[in-house]
C-alpha cells in the first residue's frame, strides 16, 4: 500500500478534506470519499468524514491500498506502439476499440491488449484501468500515453492537470466554419435529461476549454484541428455540437444516422506531446489518419475539386 502525508496550510484551511485530497493527489473525488469511508484517511490519527473542514496545521494521512489481484484477461491483440521504455508506452489506438473494461465489456479492450504485451502497468487506477492515464472514446482513434509504474503515472497525471500535455485532434464537422480559428469555453456536465450524455451546462459542471482552427473547407463540411486545454468526457464532441457544427459520424451528439459511411465520429488524436517522467526529455508523437477516415477525406477532396470550373 502507499502512504501519503499532508500538512494543511493557512491557504487551504476551511476546505473540505475530500476536495483537498482530490486536488492534491491523482485520485478522483469519489475515490477519495470511498477511502475516507473505509478509514484510510485520518487527521491527527482520527478517522473523519468527507465533509470535514480542514484547519491550519492539520496533519492528513492518506493510505491507498494495493490494487486487488487483476482479473482482466490478457489477450494477444496487436498494438501499434509508437514508443516504449521502462516507464511509458505510447500507443496508437484504432477506431472501435474501448480503452478499458467496464460492465458488459471485459474483452477486446486496449487494457486486455496491454496486459498481454507487458505485466508491469501502474496500479493507481485500480484493476480495471491499469496504466491508463487518460482516455479516448471507443470510436476516436489516435495516440494515448500509458504508465508502466506508479511514479510515471503520477507524473503524467500531474502534467495533464497542469495543462502542459500537447493534445491535438483532427475532426471533420458539418457545416462551414467562417472563422479561421476560435476558442470554445464552457462548463460541461451530465445532460439534464439523458444521463448517458454530456452537455454544456450553466451549473454543476467542470470548466472545459477547446481551441480550434480550420484546416480545409470541403463543400458542406470543414476539416479542423483542435487543441485541448482540459480533458472532459466527450469534450470535443459536445463543444462542436454546441456551436452548431457536430462531428461527422457522431450518432450521439450529431445526426442520428450514419453519414459518409461512418458509424462513429470522425475524430483522430494525431499529436501527443509530454515530458518524459524520468528523463525530462520533451517527447512529441504524430500519427496519421487511419485508413477509413483518410478515405472519407480523399473522396471529399476529389468531389470538391470536381466542382471547380
How do residues 250-264 score in pLDDT, each as one tens digit? 999 999 899 999 999
Place 68 in a pLDDT band, splitting at 50, 70 and 90: low
- CA 65, distance to chain mean position in Å, is 24
Q: What is the pLDDT of residue 23?
A: 87
Whether pLDDT at 306 is above 50: yes
Asked if residue 268 lies in contact with residue 169, where contact means CB atoms within 8 angstroms, the answer is yes
Which of the pair, 2 or 41, is modelled with greater confidence? 41
Candidate list 12, 18, 58, 137, residue with the active-site label: 137
Length of the chain as a residue count: 309
Asked if residue 88 lies in contact with residue 156, where contact means CB atoms within 8 angstroms, the answer is yes
Asked if residue 309 lies in contact with residue 291, where contact means CB atoms within 8 angstroms, the answer is no
Among 52-66, 116-130, 133-147, the minimum mean pLDDT is found in 116-130
Place 65 in a pLDDT band, splitting at 50, 70 and 90: confident
DSSP 1: -
Q: What is the pLDDT of residue 265?
A: 98
Q: What is the pTM of this model?
A: 0.79
Mean pLDDT, range 193-207, rounded to an integer: 91
Mean pLDDT, range 78-90, rounded to an integer: 97
| Bridge partners of residue 105, in order along the sequence | 102
Average pLDDT of the chain? 93
Q: What is the pLDDT of residue 309?
A: 38
Buried b (16+ CB within 10 A) or exposed e, 250-287: bbbbbeeeebeebebbbbbbbbbbbebbeeeeebebeb
Catalytic annotation on 137? Answer: yes
What DSSP assignment string belongs to 157-186? HHHHHTT-SEEEEEEEEES---SSEEEEEE
What cell numbers appear for 32 in the block?
Answer: 477519495
**pLDDT above 90 as % of the chain:** 81
Bridge-based pairing state of the strands 88-93 and 141-147: antiparallel
Please list, in sequence order, all residues whose beta carbon lies within 8 angstroms of the beta carbon of residue 157, skipping any fewer than 6 positions away: 26, 124, 133
For cell 454546441, name the residue.
242
What is d(CA 285, CA 271) in angstroms, rounded to the nearest whole number? 6
What cell numbers appear for 50 in the block?
Answer: 468527507
Task: Give the tens place of pLDDT for each residue, 140-193.
Answer: 999 999 999 999 999 999 999 999 999 999 999 999 999 999 999 999 999 988
Task: Give the tens place of pLDDT for each residue, 91-105.
Answer: 999 999 999 987 667
Q: What is the pLDDT of residue 233?
A: 94
DSSP run (H or E) holding 248: none
Q: Judging by beta carbons within 10 Å of its beta carbon (0-12, 13-18, 19+), is residue 228 exposed, middle or buried? A: buried
Domains of the chain and CATH, by start: 2-64 (3.10.290.10), 81-162 (3.30.2350.10), 167-270+292-306 (3.30.2350.10)
Please list, in sequence order, all residues whose beta carbon lies within 8 angstroms of the beta carbon of residue 309, skipping any fewer than 6 positions away: none
What is d(CA 165, CA 160) in angstroms, rounded to the nearest whole number? 6
Q: Judging by beta carbons within 10 Å of its beta carbon (0-12, 13-18, 19+), is residue 5 exposed, middle or buried? A: exposed
Whether pLDDT at 122 is above 60: yes
Amino acid at each position: 500500500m502507499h502512504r501519503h502525508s499532508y500538512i494543511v496550510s493557512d491557504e487551504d484551511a476551511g476546505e473540505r478534506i475530500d476536495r483537498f485530497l482530490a486536488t492534491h493527489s491523482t485520485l478522483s473525488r469519489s475515490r477519495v470519499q470511498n477511502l475516507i469511508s473505509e478509514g484510510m484517511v485520518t487527521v491527527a490519527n482520527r478517522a473523519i468524514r468527507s465533509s470535514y473542514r480542514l484547519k491550519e496545521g492539520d496533519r492528513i494521512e492518506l493510505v491507498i491500498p494495493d490494487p486487488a489481484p487483476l482479473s482482466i484477461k490478457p489477450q494477444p491483440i496487436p498494438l501499434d506502439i509508437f514508443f516504449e521504455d521502462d516507464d511509458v508506452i505510447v500507443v496508437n489506438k484504432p477506431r472501435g476499440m474501448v480503452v478499458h473494461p467496464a460492465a458488459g465489456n471485459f474483452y477486446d479492450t486496449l487494457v486486455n491488449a496491454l496486459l498481454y504485451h507487458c505485466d508491469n502497468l501502474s496500479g493507481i487506477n485500480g484493476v480495471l484501468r491499469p496504466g491508463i492515464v487518460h482516455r479516448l472514446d471507443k470510436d476516436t482513434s489516435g495516440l494515448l500515453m500509458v504508465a508502466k509504474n506508479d511514479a510515471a503515472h503520477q507524473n503524467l497525471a500531474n502534467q495533464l492537470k497542469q495543462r502542459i500535455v500537447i493534445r491535438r485532434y483532427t475532426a471533420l464537422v458539418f457545416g462551414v466554419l467562417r472563422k479561421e480559428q476560435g476558442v470554445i469555453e464552457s462548463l460541461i456536465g451530465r445532460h439534464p435529461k439523458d444521463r448517458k450524455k454530456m452537455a454544456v451546462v450553466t451549473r454543476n459542471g467542470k470548466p472545459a476549454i477547446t481551441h480550434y482552427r480550420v484546416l480545409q473547407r470541403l463543400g458542406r463540411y470543414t476539416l479542423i484541428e483542435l487543441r485541448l486545454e482540459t480533458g472532459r468526457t466527450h469534450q470535443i464532441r459536445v463543444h462542436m455540437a454546441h456551436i452548431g457544427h457536430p462531428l461527422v459520424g457522431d450518432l450521439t451528439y450529431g445526426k442520428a444516422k450514419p453519414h459518409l459511411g461512418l458509424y462513429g465520429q470522425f475524430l483522430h488524436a494525431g499529436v501527443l506531446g509530454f515530458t518524459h517522467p524520468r528523463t525530462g526529455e520533451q517527447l512529441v508523437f504524430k500519427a496519421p489518419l487511419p485508413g477509413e477516415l483518410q478515405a472519407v477525406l480523399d473522396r471529399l477532396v476529389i468531389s470538391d475539386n470536381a466542382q471547380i470550373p
